[in-house]
């Protein structure tokens, strides 16, 4: 900065940003086939930056607010936290149970640490099943959080309704993707009721 020369947005960006080493979970949050708003939400979730009750209870500026009297708006059975909402809450657990088969994660426990560890192992994989798994987890977490917020002002949706929203969202995204022709992909297209026109040679997913 401060030197004469041609203006470049790239040079300006390099001057003002703080460059750090890539974190090991970058591939499970930011990947080319992700849904941007859900990727940003996953970044918040992985960094535990969502304003859940356990986080807000640590804020000293809230005066006399008694968070011991508050409870999860989805199940009303106890205080909420990141781990509770994703997906140990009885309501969120129903949602996750309804979609995890489509993510190829039937054997993964309904605990965020277990889900995160599984995704971390496949974070940079371009395998179709792994890409879909990342999409399903992001959509499930995003819509569970959305439902948690909307219940303050809007009618409740059932777990089955949320499952349908999640699967429809991921299904629409899959319609814009292309996959290599493999036995696994044939099974995925059938499982998601996708047209076989999505089958074509492509190095990104196999």
2-40: pLDDT as tens digits:
555 566 776 666 666 666 677 899 999 999 889 999 999
Closest CA to 91 of 119, 106, 71: 71
Percentage of residues of the chain with pLDDT beyond 90: 52
Closest CA to 205 of 134, 137, 140, 121: 134
**Residue 13 phi/psi, 5° resolution?**
-65, -40
Does position 95 have pLDDT exceeding 90, yes or no? yes
Q: How far apart are CA 122 and CA 130, in angstroms?
A: 6
Mean pLDDT of 55-75: 68
133-167: pLDDT as tens digits:
999 999 999 999 999 999 877 889 999 999 999 99
Does position 199 have pLDDT exceeding 50, yes or no? yes
Which has the higher per-residue pLDDT, 193 or 117? 117
Q: How far apart are CA 166 and CA 98, in angstroms?
A: 10
Q: How far apart are CA 204 and CA 178, in angstroms?
A: 8
Name residues whose C-beta falls within 8 Å of residue 69's C-beta, 6 or more positions apart in sequence. none
Q: Where are the domains of the chain?
A: 23-55+78-198
Give the range among 42-56, 110-124, 172-186 with minimum mean pLDDT.
172-186
């Amino acid at each position: 900065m401060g030197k004469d020369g041609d203006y470049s947005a790239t040079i300006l960006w390099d001057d003002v940003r703080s460059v750090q080493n890539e974190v090991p979970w970058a591939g499970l949050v930011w990947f080319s086939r992700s849904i941007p708003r859900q990727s940003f939400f996953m970044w918040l979730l992985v960094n535990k930056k969502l304003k859940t009750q356990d986080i807000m209870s640590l804020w000293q500026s809230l005066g006399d607010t008694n968070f011991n009297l508050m409870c999860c708006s989805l199940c009303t059975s106890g205080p909420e936290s990141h781990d509770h909402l994703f997906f140990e809450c009885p309501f969120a657990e129903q949602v996750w149970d309804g979609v995890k088969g489509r993510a190829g994660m039937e054997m993964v426990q309904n605990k965020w640490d277990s889900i995160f560890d599984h995704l971390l192992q496949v974070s940079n994989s371009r395998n179709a099943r792994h890409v879909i798994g990342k999409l399903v987890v992001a959509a499930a977490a995003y819509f569970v959080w959305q439902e948690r917020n909307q219940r303050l002002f809007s009618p409740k949706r059932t777990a089955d309704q949320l499952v349908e929203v999640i699967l429809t969202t991921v299904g629409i995204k899959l319609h814009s993707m292309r996959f290599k022709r493999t036995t696994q992909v044939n099974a995925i297209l059938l499982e998601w009721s996708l047209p076989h026109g999505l089958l074509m040679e492509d190095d990104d997913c196999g």
